Amino acid sequence: MTKPLLVSKTFWVNLIGTLISILALVQDSPLVPPEALPWVALVVGVLNLVLRIWFTDAPIAGVV
């Protein structure tokens, strides 16, 4: 049994983590300080492990 990519929690965690990291790299962004980037990477990595180990039961079939 497979599922679409857009239903994957891991996909959304990675997308949000990437967007937060990009915001921190933009000089004019007061939302995320650059010194928070290692913590963002750590949180995204841990969330990926948690989602993969305990919540993933179906492989990705395609985008939709």
Interacting residues of 13 by C-beta distance below 8 A, sequence separation 6+: 44, 47, 48, 51
8 Å CB contact between 64 and 4? yes
**Closest Cα to residue 19, out of 44, 2, 1?**
44
Strands 60-62 and 3-4, bridge-based pairing: parallel
pTM: 0.69
pLDDT at 29: 65
Query: Mind listing the pLDDT tens digit of every residue in the chain (64 residues)?
Result: 788 888 888 889 889 888 877 777 776 667 777 787 788 888 888 888 888 878 877 777 777 6
3-state secondary structure (DSSP) of residue 48? helix
pLDDT at 10: 87
8 Å CB contact between 37 and 21? yes
pLDDT at 27: 63
pLDDT at 7: 86
